[in-house]
Structure 1
């Protein structure tokens, strides 16, 4: 058809721009020639239109028997009906995933060894329980407009349990596009996004978590913010409550939480996260101003994985040991964490992780790790305490104004049994520069503690 139209057009142009001898023809002769050309084009168009048209991809192909055509139509009708049912029942755009993680832990100073799974977290947060031994079901729904609805349920071992010891909600959030899928309004309860290490055992290569993850970062945020992506950049920011689902009487100020990620290339990148605002303080019973900042990065290429993080923090009136007049002093800390992994085979990975936290100022004290010191109601005497299971705070038989500087070294193996199942084995040595680990067998304090952990993660 295109060739026919081009031929007619060419002829018309030749007629319009002919040689001088042709231009001498009368207008009447030119009109007759143009009419003849138009009639010829119309005749050719009718012939082309009368030719058989090619079949569409949705129609049965030539060569199908009547029975095959009938089966084809039956399948097409069923497929359309199934799509209608999925959409009407709300399953369109819904993704469901989950995992379980039974864990075995041996803790030398706690004098215990055994399995732990879905155990209550109401007694507190410890590095030998952390978020380990969890079971999670995750629902992610995306609407046609691009809005994301996210609900993650984790009984006993999730963010909700870390906040109040009871909630099974790990995450409950919405993400609404603001004119673009790359610019979103986010709101709800969202787990903390700081550091190189993830909470989920499907993403964390070790069974335990590093010291910075356990003791210097929030559990999560409840509030509203923005999620922005542009090329290699990803920015998230919120105004929210930290480690709280609602404000109590007298509390009015939200925290500002922020994270920016940059994927430099295919193999490496970095991230920066910060928090500024009033956060829980168990010394005073009220929220006090806290400042957190951390920088993390990664390099993953071939069989080699390298990850690292540096963190600093400060909280007003958050130190463990008060001043001589009984007033609370400020807590301040700084820490490092690094991880290296190497794939010996496509299924077996060897791992090493090393952590250090400098926390000796004013008897120690980390983010929300305070409230151990009490006062005698009758005499007013200061009774200094510490966290003798996590190894945070001063040596109670030494200088109570000096907190323990903590370190931990972990060696591990991770084996992919199949696509859904991962087996992990870890030996971890925790230590401090003063005796802060309580040995429950004899009631004495030690400078080190050994832990052996193993876990099986089964995901779908």
Structure 2
């Protein structure tokens, strides 16, 4: 009687593991599953009887026959739960995510308010924050990995792929051993010391190099190799593009190399060489004149030192794109080039409290400016040639008209770790430029500086 009760309870538990699937299936499929379940229960019953038959021998390990029987029942139930998890796809499945409601005050934009899942275009005051993200990761027995990360409105897909909610969609397959892998799909950019997502960053906003000189994401194939302290990634991909258009057939070569020098420090460098979309050509050339992609070269070096209460990170970048400068004369496209640096230092003066400072500099004066993905004057981000942005009879000097604004930014912040899953951030940021490129919306005046104040709560699980 006791055995029948145990097996009946086990049958109910296994059947309850598949409620959603059962409702969705036809009667024939349900009957097939019930027969398979009955066969499994019969197998477990036989295993339980065999285990109980050996129970007296268990006394030599200090268990009574009754204790041995109970132990065997636990073993059988555990195996049943493992079988159920594997059948449902839960085995080796990890689900995580976060939400970070953010409040931003922007003096020049004459705006202040909360930001969460807004649809506005990407900007330094409207970047990868104010997000709600959920991440699914699955690893199979053979070591293959599958990942789908969803971030409505504020993920990489929302930036470059028509409002897609997909931040990352990739598979990672071992080639011979687990240290050599093939990585395919939509992969967020890996340039620099700052990460894309809020829980991994010290400040709310990103540095100037992250926002204006780095790609958003890659769609392609990457060879991912780990060799001792070295991590090497290299591949071919579309840059900021899920599908190449007519006349654009060349992918870009992308790579990143990281070296962990020791427990506390390391460095990395990235590169991109190939063709990417040219927004300047798109703006001034008629449809069909020529393909919109043009040659891009990006190089970047970053390093870190993290020990105890201290975090120090730095980055230098250089890039150019053919025919994508902001200034052009009578339709003649000019090349854009830029360089910059960023440095961050953080110190935990109390275990839960951390002070953060970051300084950025971006040289962008050639041919009126022009950065990767930014080929027009931008009064919100402070990019371009300053007040007026025109070369006309009132400003006949082409040399002056062709000079773009160099950019600076200083950010100061404080973080408070409320609990293991909740981080509160406060940031003050001053942006400055060598030209009057910030438009003050309250009175339509132009200035060389802007001020931003932000706070956010990052809740992760």
TM-score, scaled to structure 2: 0.82
Within the alignment, does 1:396 sit opposite 2:387 as a pair?
A: yes
Hey, what does 2:212 align to over in structure 1?
215
Pair member with larger Rg: 1
CA distances 1:245-272 after superposition (whole Å, capped 9, x unpaired): 0011111000111100000111110000
CA contact (8 A) 1:211 1:408 kept: yes
Hey, what does 1:275 align to over in structure 2?
272
Structure 1: runs of 5 or more not aligned: 1-54, 373-385
SS at match of 1:76: helix
CA contact (8 A) 2:181 2:223 kept: yes
In 2, the alpha carbon distance for the partners of 1:69 and 1:314 equals 73
In 2, the alpha carbon distance for the partners of 1:396 and 1:331 equals 20
In 1, the alpha carbon distance for the partners of 2:156 and 2:60 equals 56
CA distances 1:342-397 after superposition (whole Å, capped 9, x unpaired): 01111111000000000001100000101x3xxxxxxxxxxxxx100000010134
CA distances 1:64-101 after superposition (whole Å, capped 9, x unpaired): 34443332222111101000111111111111111111
SS at match of 1:237: strand
SS at match of 1:187: strand
Structure 2: runs of 5 or more not aligned: 1-53, 283-291, 389-394
SS at match of 1:182: strand
Hey, what does 2:39 align to over in structure 1?
none
Hey, what does 2:328 align to over in structure 1?
322
Runs of 4+ in 1 over 2 A off after TM superposition: 58-71, 396-400
Deviation at 1:208, TM superposition (A): 0.4
Deviation at 1:62, TM superposition (A): 4.1
Deviation at 1:166, TM superposition (A): 1.0
In 2, the alpha carbon distance for the partners of 1:283 and 1:177 equals 41
Q: Tell me: CA distance 1:415–1:61, structure 2 relative to 1, closer, same or farther (3 Å).
A: farther
In 2, the alpha carbon distance for the partners of 1:206 and 1:214 equals 14
SS at match of 1:185: strand
SS at match of 1:283: helix
Hey, what does 1:70 align to over in structure 2?
69
Map 1:79-94 → 2, pairs under 5 A: 79-94=78-93
Hey, what does 1:237 align to over in structure 2?
234
In 2, the alpha carbon distance for the partners of 1:67 and 1:356 equals 74
SS at match of 2:70: helix
In 2, the alpha carbon distance for the partners of 1:71 and 1:414 equals 51
Deviation at 1:59, TM superposition (A): 5.5
Q: Tell me: CA distance 1:70–1:317, structure 2 relative to 1, closer, same or farther (3 Å).
A: same
Map 1:61-460 → 2, pairs under 5 A: 62-121=61-120, 124-285=121-282, 286-323=292-329, 325-370=330-375, 372=376, 386-397=377-388, 399-460=400-461
Q: Tell me: CA distance 1:163–1:60, structure 2 relative to 1, closer, same or farther (3 Å).
A: farther
In 2, the alpha carbon distance for the partners of 1:108 and 1:70 equals 73
In 1, the alpha carbon distance for the partners of 2:321 and 2:58 equals 70
Bigger Cα displacement from structure 2, 389-398 vs 425-434 = 389-398
SS at match of 1:157: coil
Q: Tell me: CA distance 1:75–1:311, structure 2 relative to 1, closer, same or farther (3 Å).
A: same
Q: Tell me: CA distance 1:61–1:195, structure 2 relative to 1, closer, same or farther (3 Å).
A: farther
CA contact (8 A) 1:156 1:165 kept: no
Deviation at 1:130, TM superposition (A): 0.8
In 1, the alpha carbon distance for the partners of 2:248 and 2:133 equals 32
Q: Tell me: CA distance 1:250–1:445, structure 2 relative to 1, closer, same or farther (3 Å).
A: same
In 2, the alpha carbon distance for the partners of 1:278 and 1:76 equals 59
SS at match of 1:194: coil
In 2, the alpha carbon distance for the partners of 1:396 and 1:453 equals 27
Deviation at 1:281, TM superposition (A): 1.2
In 1, the alpha carbon distance for the partners of 2:378 and 2:278 equals 15
CA contact (8 A) 1:363 1:401 kept: yes
TM-score, scaled to structure 1: 0.82
In 2, the alpha carbon distance for the partners of 1:330 and 1:128 equals 27
Deviation at 1:400, TM superposition (A): 2.5
Hey, what does 1:4 align to over in structure 2?
none
In 1, the alpha carbon distance for the partners of 2:317 and 2:132 equals 30
CA contact (8 A) 2:58 2:64 kept: no
SS at match of 2:81: helix
In 1, the alpha carbon distance for the partners of 2:58 and 2:278 equals 70
CA contact (8 A) 1:60 1:72 kept: no
CA RMSD of aligned residues (A): 1.6
Hey, what does 1:40 align to over in structure 2?
none
